[in-house]
Amino acid sequence: MRTATGTDEPALEVFPPGTGRAADGVLVVGGCRVDELAAAYGTPALLVDEAHVRATVRRCRAALAAAWPDAQVTYASKAFPATAMYRLMAQEGIWVDVAGLGELEVALGAGVDPATILVHGNAKGDDLIGRALEAGVAYVVIDNLDDVDRLEGRATREQRVLVRLNPDVAPQTHDAMSTGGQRSKFGLPAGLAREVIARVRAANLLTLAGVHVHIGSQIHDLAPFAESVRALRALVEELGIADVAVYDLGGGLGVPHLRGEHVPSLEEYVGTLAAAAREHLPPAARILIEPGRALVATAGVSLYRVVTVKRAAATFVAVDGGMGDNLEVSLYGQPFEAVIAAPRTAGPRAPERCDVVGQHCESGDRLVAGVELPAPAVGDLLAVPVTGAYTHPLSNNYNGALRPPVVFVGGGEHRAVIRRETLADLVRRDVA
User: 236 near 242, Cβ under 8 Å?
Assistant: yes
What span, in angstroms and rounded, lies between the C-alpha atoms of 322 and 94? 33
User: 193 near 165, Cβ under 8 Å?
Assistant: yes
Instruction: Provide the CA 376 distance to its chain's centre, in angstroms.
Output: 31
- In 333-428, which ranges are continuous DSSP H helix? 391-394, 423-428
33 phi, psi to nearest 5 deg: -70, 130
| 195-205: b (≥16 Cβ within 10 Å) or e | ebbebbeebee
User: 160 near 180, Cβ under 8 Å?
Assistant: no
Residue of 32, 60, 354, 361 marked active site: 361
Max Cα distance, the chain (Å): 74
Three-state SS at 424 = helix
Residue type at 142 in one-letter notation? I
Residues β-bridged to residue 203: none
Nearest C-alpha neighbor of 378 from the set 308, 329, 312: 308
**60-to-82, 284, 368 alpha-carbon distances in Å:** 20, 21, 30
Instruction: State the DSSP H helix or E strand holding residue 212, giving kind and residue range, or none if neither.
Output: strand 206-212
How many helices, marked H, and strands, marked E, lie in the chain? Answer: 13, 21
Nearest C-alpha neighbor of 249 from the set 265, 264, 263, 275: 275
What span, in angstroms and rounded, lies between the C-alpha atoms of 34 and 243? 54
CA atoms within 13 A on the CB side of 165: 29
CA atoms within 13 A on the CB side of 107: 31
Residue type at 212 in one-letter notation? H
Residue count of the chain, please give it.
Answer: 432
What span, in angstroms and rounded, lies between the C-alpha atoms of 117 and 58? 19
40 phi, psi to nearest 5 deg: -80, -35
Dihedral over alpha carbons 64, 67, 68, 69 (to 10 degrees):
100
Asked about 361 being catalytic, the answer comes back as: yes
Q: Which residues are catalytic?
A: 361
